[in-house]
Structure 1
């Protein structure tokens, strides 16, 4: 590696360590209190409503994540980590800006148009995750890579308690992925939709108000899309670091990237 690469690796190693500490942090008093309130609200909501929402989110997410339009080409040429992440950050900025425009457009119309925000914003976020995976050299045609993407999504939009659980899975992904079932129906869609919905409910509430919702929709969509992108970057950094460590333990002298 060149000196430039070494410096960059040192910088992102610090970022990665800080991110890992944040993911492992125990739920705060506020986190626990908020979660208890959300659980009480969820208990009040009729079961048939939960089932309907779970089914809707499951079908929309499945359609997005298995859509033919989301297949991206695996990066073939060898690039440095810094070169890869320059492009990744460009795509995160692009999708964050696109999500802001979409959020402003749907938020301007109030409640009815805001209903359209969910599938549109979800599609943008998933498309971004597919591109990021491809930039890091992973083949998104692989079913297990798509499950990894689902875990990144869940890691971003979950309570701290659930985040601890998902992070542990990603931290040990190279050992866990071979044990995954072949049927995505076994994925815990109920928890997925509850955590996601609870996470964004308060943030998206103002978007339901006509006109005012345009500003709220733009700000929230931009901020949370950017957060998702940064989470993905660190998830793939951690995965590559763990992969390299496992290879070195087996006597391999491979470099950071495959």
Structure 2
């Protein structure tokens, strides 16, 4: 193990401490309030929301698979791959900022379009990251891993800790693959996005909030994806 990889191990350990520590009071109160609201929503509405997000995510996964460049240098070092991913994060942040400012400036109706547009940007980014680190997303278990990375980034509390454990033990986990818990997936994502972007629909400040929120969301997703794939690479050689 070289000096850079030892440095990465320390960075991963610090990242894991941050994402598993107790959630701040404001976010806990927000999550509690959102939980109460979710309980008031009829089951039929939850089923429609779950089905809609499931269909949207699956369509985005398929589209991202088609759009992602499949040729990737296989002999790159971890340090070289990390540099490429950092460049991708910056590039996608710029795209997300423009998208967030545009939809945020358009008021409530156009602002609602931000949800599927930003989801598409995030999924395309995750496919690019997977290829940079040498993993083949044409395989079902790799697309499922992408969903776990997504869930790790946009969930809270116990769900985040469970998802991190599954990612850390993916070689074992993928031997017993099951369908995603789509209800929990959409609920956690929706609650996280609501907290981060609830002011984007407010006239006058929507563009600024949209750009700021999208920039932070992509940066957060980028850090999560980078460390999730680093964990796999340091545990074993990536699958080419």
**1:20-56 deviations in Å (ceiling 9; x for gaps):** 2223334565554443222111111222222221111
Q: Is the 8 A contact 2:122 2:218 kept in 1?
A: yes
Ranges of 4+ aligned residues in structure 1 off by more than 4 Å: 26-32
Which of 20, 26, 38 is the aligned partner of 1:24? 20
TM-score by length of 2: 0.92
Superposition RMSD on alpha carbons, in Å?
1.9
Which residue is equivalent to 1:194?
Answer: 187
Counterpart CA distance in 2 for 1:80 and 1:161 is 34
Counterpart CA distance in 1 for 2:171 and 2:117 is 32
Which residue is equivalent to 2:213?
Answer: 220
TM-score by length of 1: 0.86
The DSSP-based 3-state class of the residue aligned with 2:152 is: helix
Which of 146, 164, 169 is the aligned partner of 2:166? 169
Counterpart CA distance in 1 for 2:67 and 2:54 is 17
Which residue is equivalent to 1:44?
Answer: 40
Q: Is the 8 A contact 1:74 1:137 kept in 2?
A: no
Counterpart CA distance in 1 for 2:28 and 2:74 is 46
User: Are 1:127 and 2:120 an aligned pair?
Assistant: no
| 1:67-216 superposed matches below 5 A | 67=63, 68-73=65-70, 75-181=72-178, 186-216=179-209
- In the alignment, structure 1 segments of 5+ residues that lack a partner are 245-255
Q: Is the 8 A contact 2:135 2:239 kept in 1?
A: no
Counterpart CA distance in 1 for 2:124 and 2:195 is 24
- In the alignment, structure 2 segments of 5+ residues that lack a partner are none
Structure with the greater alpha carbon radius of gyration: 1
